[in-house]
Amino acid sequence: MSLPERGKDESKWILESIEVVDPMADVPLEDHDDNKKSNVNGSPESMVVKFPNEASLSNNGDNIRHRNNNNNNNGGGGSVKMERVQSGAARGLKGLRFLDRSVTGKENDAWKSIGKRFNQNAVDGKISKDKFGTCIGMGAESKEFAGELYEALARRRNICAENGVTLDELRVFWEDMTNKDLEARLQVFFDMCDKNGDGRLSEEEVREVILLSAAANKLGNLKQHASTYAALIMEELDPDQNGYIEMWQLETLLREMASAEEGTGVKCNTKNQELTKAMIPSMYRTPLRKFFNKTREFVLDKWKKIWVISLWIAINIALYSWKFMQYRDTREFKVMGYCLCSAKGAAETLKFNMALIVLTMCRNTLTRLRGTFLNRIIPFDDNINFHKMIAVGVVIGTVVHVGMHVTCDFPRIQSCPKRKFMSILGPNFNYKQPTYLEIVLSIPGTTGIAMVLIMAFVFTLATHYFRRSIVKLPSPLHRLAGFNAFWYAHHLLIGVYVLLVIHGYYLFLTKDWRKKTTWMYLVVPLILYSTERLHPFVNREDHRVSVIKAILYTGNVLALYMTKPAGFKYKSGMYLFIKCKDISKFEWHPFSITSAPGDDYLSVHIRTLGDWTTELRKRFEQVCGPQNVETRPGALQRMQTRVTSGKDPSQAGYPKILIKGPYGAPAQNYKNYDVLLLIGLGIGATPMISILKDILSHMKGGNLEQGSTHGNNSLEEGKKCPNRAYFYWVTREQASFEWFKGVMDDVAEYDQDGIIEMHNYLTSVYAEGDARSALIGMIQKLQHAKNGLDVVSESRIRTHFARPNWKKVFTDLTSQHENSRIGVFYCGSPTLTPTLRNLCKEFSLNSSTRFAFHKENF
Please write the tens of the pLDDT for every residue from 461-496.
999 888 877 888 888 887 888 878 888 899 999 999
**Residue 857, pLDDT score:** 62
Q: Is 806 exposed, middle or buried (0-12, 13-18, 19+ CB in 10 A)?
A: middle
Task: Give ranges for CATH 3.40.50.80 in the chain.
Answer: 665-701+720-763+803-857
Domain 540-625+652-664 is in which class? mainly beta
**Residue 310, pLDDT score:** 95
Which residues neighbour 212 within 8 Å (Cβ) at sequence distance 6 or greater?
144, 145, 148
Task: Give ranges for CATH 2.40.30.10 in the chain.
Answer: 540-625+652-664
In angstroms, the CA 605 to CA 594 distance is 7
This prediction's pTM: 0.64
Characterize the bridge pairing of strands 724-731 and 601-607. Answer: unpaired
Helix axes 167-177, 129-136, angle to 10 degrees: 60
Which residues neighbour 72 within 8 Å (Cβ) at sequence distance 6 or greater?
4, 12, 14, 79
Which residues neighbour 519 within 8 Å (Cβ) at sequence distance 6 or greater?
501, 504, 505
The one-letter amino acid code at 721 reads C
In 405-442, alpha helices (H): 410-415, 418-424, 436-440
The structural architecture, per CATH, of the domain 665-701+720-763+803-857 is 3-Layer(aba) Sandwich (3.40)
**Residue 610, pLDDT score:** 75
**Residue 402, pLDDT score:** 94
Q: Is 532 exposed, middle or buried (0-12, 13-18, 19+ CB in 10 A)?
A: middle
Please write the tens of the pLDDT for every residue from 723-741.
888 999 888 777 777 777 7
In 492-630, alpha helices (H): 493-505, 518-534, 611-623
In angstroms, the CA 203 to CA 812 distance is 40
**Residue 452, pLDDT score:** 95
Below-50 pLDDT ranges, the chain? 1-94, 101-105, 259-279, 537-539, 626-651, 704-718
Task: Give ranges for CATH 1.10.238.10 in the chain.
Answer: 107-261
**Residue 449, pLDDT score:** 95
Overall fold of domain 107-261: Recoverin; domain 1 (1.10.238)
3-state class (DSSP) for residue 272: helix
